[in-house]
């Protein structure tokens, strides 16, 4: 099954990478860009019998490795 884990910084946490991209875009002439936030999407092939089992595996992997829960939130979707 295809599991998608969407990892994004929590509201209010500064995004230095986003800030850098914002400045780079401005220097390239894109003057109408405000806040820039960058997130990660991890697509995994998971051998699971049911979608529910695949989702639980995705959540366990997100907690164990894929997301730093101090500063990041994550969402798990079972795609197929």
Which parts of this chain interact with a second copy (CB under 8 A)? 6, 8, 18, 21, 24-25, 28, 30, 32-48, 57, 60-61, 64-66
* Closer to a second copy by Cβ: residue 8 or 77: 8
Q: How far is CA 14 from CA 11, 20, 49, in A?
A: 9, 11, 39
Question: Is the CB of residue 10 less than 8 Å from the CB of residue 72?
Answer: yes
CA 37 to chain centre: 11
Helix (H) or strand (E) holding 55: helix 51-61
* Closer to a second copy by Cβ: residue 64 or 70: 64
Minimum distance from CB of 57 to a second copy (Å)? 7
Minimum distance from CB of 20 to a second copy (Å)? 11
């Amino acid at each position: 099954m295809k599991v998608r884990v969407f990892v994004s910084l929590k509201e209010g946490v500064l995004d230095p990478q986003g800030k850098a991209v914002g400045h780079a875009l401005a220097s390239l002439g894109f003057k109408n860009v405000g806040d820039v936030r960058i997130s990660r999407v991890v697509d995994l092939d998971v051998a699971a019998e049911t979608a529910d089992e695949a989702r639980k595996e995705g959540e366990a992997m997100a907690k164990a490795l894929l997301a730093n829960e101090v500063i990041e939130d994550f969402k798990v979707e079972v795609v197929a």
